[in-house]
């Protein structure tokens, strides 16, 4: 077997086992999206407290992304990923014994470490593939976001059969098995490491680039919004449409599943058409979907010549789910396209930059569920969550227009002017 063929086989082995590991990590990270509902009833939590409960693991998983990305650049993704997953197993198991609100918040901080796996696996798998395939590789790895949908399929079955406390215990066993599987089928390549003479400060210097802040903004909606809604949607279906938890989880998966699995397609599209083109369309599709999802259930009466006429305007569960499905697809593409920007602009510093962008996305996933709960408590309108996301998308569209679309048009106009001026010379 040639050395090149061996390398390709190792690359695909790394990609497959890393994607599986990330799927399990994401499943654990999103655990409260399902078990949080019986816990809310048990502790008699309001909407804001429920948002805090579901978001707490997201906070830790976000804050550790920058150091984990830097450590991956310096020490390699294999060792960092394995140690990270091992560190979460005791906390996941202990979650089943929590009984007070502060217990869940404290243990949730340690369980949240699983969310940091994204910043490990992204640079780890990207460096095993040539530049023209990195969008595809990162997209396939990012499809591990579908762990959110897996959680919605698996957790309700365990919950109904054995109670909510059995869910974290089963998840702890799955995570422990995944550590062994990952170590057996992953590989290391010293050529992928950052040279030892490169300091952490050197790796972080690129963070002063305004482009990084822009990518953080994009990712705060396509990933942060995805995480927030993945945590929020089961209880939204139950409250808005009066569904059983199993049916609610199944319908919520119609958003979570395409939002994870189709990230690989987004990576391929970004390789083919460019990160900007894909992201631009993602934002416009998101804008339309969120505008429609924002409209609350409304009853009103009009005085007509024939007397008062009452009308109802609102999305039924089928139209609502269809819009969520489209939104999930758009955000799957957007998550991949944002990281294609990073692979193009920072090929030698993927770990650190993906860490800070992932941090921004994760913080979005932490803050948004809390704001969702606060807005519901404040206004009593469940669709206020989508109103908030609609505003965030507006910011992204405006920023993208002024820094990319308009800038490109200005540069193209100058080039055309220069061409015409040159053509007019004798």
pLDDT in tens, 335-367: 888 888 887 877 767 767 777 887 888 888 888
Hunting for tokens 């009452």 — which residue is that? Answer: 310
Using the predicted structure, report yes or no on whether residue 307 has a pLDDT greater than 90.
no
pLDDT of 179-228, one tens digit each?
A: 999 999 988 877 777 665 555 565 566 667 778 888 888 988 998 898 88
Question: 315 near 382, Cβ under 8 Å?
Answer: no
Mean pLDDT of 286-307: 90
**How far from the centroid of its chain's Cα atoms is residue 255's Cα?**
12
Q: What is the pLDDT of residue 267?
A: 79
Judged against a pLDDT cut of 80, whether residue 298 lies above it is answered with: yes
The confidence band for 291, taking pLDDT boundaries of 50, 70 and 90, is very high
Number of CB atoms found within 10 A of residue 422's CB: 8
Return the pLDDT at 196: 56
Which residue carries 């949908």 as its tokens?
A: 149
- pLDDT at position 194, please? 67
Q: Which domains are present in the chain?
A: 3-186+203-300+311-411 (1.20.1250.20)
Q: What share of the chain is helix, strand, coil (3-state, %, to 5)?
A: 85, 5, 15
Q: What is the mean pLDDT of residues 10-38?
A: 92
- Residue 299, H or E segment: strand 298-304
| Structure tokens that stand for 26 in this block | 């994401």
Contact 224, 364 (CB under 8 A): yes
Lowest-pLDDT range, 129-133, 226-230, 402-406?
402-406
- Arithmetic mean of pLDDT, 52-72: 85
Locate 18 and state its tokens. Answer: 């890393």
Cα–Cα distance measured from residue 108 to residue 140, given in angstroms and rounded to the nearest whole number: 27
Q: How far apart are CA 124 and CA 273, in angstroms?
A: 24
**Both tokens assigned to 53:** 């409960």
CA dist 323 and 317 (Å) reads 10
Higher per-residue pLDDT: 173 or 74: 173
Residue for token digits 């990952």? 182
Residue 421 has pLDDT above 60, yes or no: no
CB 365 within 8 A of CB 293: no
Res. 420 pLDDT band, cuts 50 70 90: very low
Q: What's the pLDDT band for 33 if we cut at 50, 70, 90?
A: confident
Query: What rounded mean pLDDT belongs to the chain?
Result: 85
Mean pLDDT of 318-338: 92
- Note the pLDDT tens digit of each residue in 239-280: 889 888 889 989 998 888 887 778 778 878 888 888 888 999
Q: Which residues sit opposite 307 in a β-bridge?
A: 304
Residue 317: pLDDT band with limits 50, 70, 90:
very high
């Amino acid at each position: 077997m040639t050395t090149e063929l061996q390398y390709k086989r190792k690359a695909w082995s790394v990609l497959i086992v890393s994607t599986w590991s990330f799927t399990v990590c994401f499943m654990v990270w999103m655990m409260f999206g399902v078990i949080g509902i019986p816990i809310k009833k048990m502790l008699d939590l309001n909407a804001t407290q429920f948002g805090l409960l579901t978001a707490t693991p997201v906070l830790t998983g976000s804050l550790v992304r920058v150091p984990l990305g830097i450590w991956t650049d310096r020490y390699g993704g294999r060792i960092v990923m394995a140690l990270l997953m091992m560190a979460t197993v005791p906390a996941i198991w202990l979650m089943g014994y929590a009984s007070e609100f502060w217990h869940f918040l404290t243990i949730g901080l340690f369980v949240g470490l699983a969310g940091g796996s994204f910043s490990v696996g992204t640079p780890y798998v990207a460096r095993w593939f040539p530049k023209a395939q990195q969008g595809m590789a990162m997209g396939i790895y990012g499809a591990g976001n579908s762990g959110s949908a897996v959680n919605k399929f698996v957790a309700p079955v365990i919950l109904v059969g054995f109670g909510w406390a059995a869910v974290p215990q089963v998840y702890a066993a799955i995570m422990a098995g995944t550590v062994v599987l990952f170590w057996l089928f992953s590989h290391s390549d010293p050529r992928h490491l950052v040279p030892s003479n490169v300091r952490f400060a050197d790796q972080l210097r690129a963070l002063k680039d305004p482009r990084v802040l822009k990518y953080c903004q994009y990712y705060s909606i396509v990933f942060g919004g995805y995480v927030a809604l993945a945590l929020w949607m089961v209880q939204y279906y139950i409250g808005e449409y009066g569904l059983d938890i199993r049916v609610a989880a199944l319908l919520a998966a119609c958003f979570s599943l395409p939002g994870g699995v189709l990230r690989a397609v987004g990576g391929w599209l970004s390789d083919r058409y460019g990160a900007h083109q894909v992201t631009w369309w993602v934002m416009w599709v998101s804008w339309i979907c969120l505008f429609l999802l924002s409209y609350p259930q409304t009853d009103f009466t009009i005085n007509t010549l024939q007397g008062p006429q009452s009308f109802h305007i609102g999305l039924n569960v089928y139209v609502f789910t269809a819009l969520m499905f489209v939104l999930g697809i758009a955000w799957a593409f957007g998550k991949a396209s944002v990281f294609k920007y990073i692979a193009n602009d920072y090929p030698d510093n993927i770990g650190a930059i993906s860490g800070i962008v992932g941090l921004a996305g994760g913080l979005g996933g932490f803050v948004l569920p809390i704001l969702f709960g606060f807005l519901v408590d404040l206004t009593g309108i469940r669709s206020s969550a989508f109103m908030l996301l609609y505003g965030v998308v507006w910011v992204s569209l405006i920023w993208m227009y002024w820094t990319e679309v308009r800038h490109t048009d200005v540069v193209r106009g100058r080039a055309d002017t220069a061409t015409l001026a040159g053509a007019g010379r004798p």
